[in-house]
Structure 1
Amino acid sequence: MNELSVSPSPDPIARRQLLALGAAALLPTGLRAQEMSNTLPDLIDKSRQAVVAVGTYSATDSPRFGFRGTGFVVGDGKLIVTCSHVIPNPLEKELAIQVPGSGNASGAPQLRPVKLRRRDTLHDLAVLELVDDKPLVATLSLAPLDEGQPVVREGSAVALMGYPLGTALGVSLATHRGIVASITKAALPAPTSGSLSERAIRQLREGQVEFLQLDMTAYPGNSGGPLLEIRTGKVVGIVNMVALKGTRESALSAPSGITYAVPVKYLVPLLAP
């Protein structure tokens, strides 16, 4: 066995520094990664007001707000991004978002009416717009696009934010942390056979849609929520689907630990004026 010998140092301070460096080198990789992610609590505090619950509203329903998924505020504070499958099709009720109350003086969540601005069923994305002219203060920034380069690298530390269990226990934000395990290509299944066009069938076969495969657990209520790169705090994807072990109910009882997100590059065209 090879041994590392260190000559005694007459300077006790220098010796302590040398020992500290040696101890740091022996720290497990996971522990060093944990130290590097100390910015996550700050990222959560900074982002939580921009992550909203998305659903339908009816004055005759009980409750009046029907939760369907998560969304997040971008741009000038009037646009909300979510997944297309979160929005009913056809629209039979008014759409609304529930804004968390942590930034309000009353501490109570706010219901705000929204309308569907654009929808991209191929990439399962939708952009909503506030009905009134009062923008939300908190917004999230999208990661900048570099032509030909992925917006996030495999192995990057990421966090998804949203409402995994809906609003049954109140508008309580939850954050899950993991890594980008793979950047892969797949095709989204159509909700119904009537949605299959010739183009959709061709893309199902070719798997032309890029996805971020995540080594982390998400739940049905997370659909439409932001995927943030912890290092930059920018949105790199939109949480889309979870790999199931069995039935749909197994997403809660026996989660697979594999989640997929739509890269933010597919969102940018929907935000154009």
Structure 2
Amino acid sequence: TISPEAEGQTPTSTSMLNHVPSIDVFQYTQSGIEEYWVMDPLTNTSSVIGANVSLYHAAIDVDGDLANMGWDIDLDGTIDQNVSDHSGFSTVFIPTSAWHAYPSHQMPNSILSQMTSIAFIAIDASGNAVSQFLHINSPPFSPAYIGMLPIYQFSAEDANGETTSGTDDNLVRVTMSQGGDLNWASISVKISVDNAAPVTCDNPGATGGSCGLVEFGSTSDQVWSVGDGVTIVETGQNLCDAGQTCEVRVTITDTREGRTVDERTSFAE
């Protein structure tokens, strides 16, 4: 061994530069903004809960390792609605909480007189990320549509089996009797047993919570449809003890639209 090392004895390495993705986005104004309203059957009044907008994106990574991309609706730095194609249109639902009224605007409190900002995020396999803001409003002379969301109805009943001191009891069954398809990716089901603090149950196929949903009916798709239902079961925690009759309040939330779909109460015994 030569000491000190002779010229050329120590190998050298060259690191390859990894490029940041490049993106571009815009609002497709020809389709306008589609407001969505929900009707309260008790008061017979309707209110805006959000709007659908048509957005276009294009993304490229010259290294060919684009890994994840989509729309960040609440500007928290994480993707809320993923896209898979490198370019194309997306219909994005933006809840009312994300819209802002123009200063001193005299129009009624409608999304059609407000604006919002969201962002498009693209991340490559090396962790390089890029984002771009998109400011959205209802442009002059573009159509504005109003759609009424379906009214959902569910039923709840005691599930099969008696309550025990174990941690895997069947508690209640919940079945959809009216409404449109709800994608499981945007459904959250919480239960409160005997007025205790609500706990979130794992959706079908997920684990880790103190209660879970076992789907019945049409189980081959990714939606909760009319006629389908779930059995709410304990998963590792004794929520209703042996011999007790427990009041179970079920709250179903559409997280994508930011609204409560239905609340039902039943008894597990």
TM-score normalised by L of structure 2:
0.23
Q: Which has the larger radius of gyration?
A: 2
**Structure with more of its chain in helix, by fraction:** 1
**Structure with more of its chain in strand, by fraction:** 2
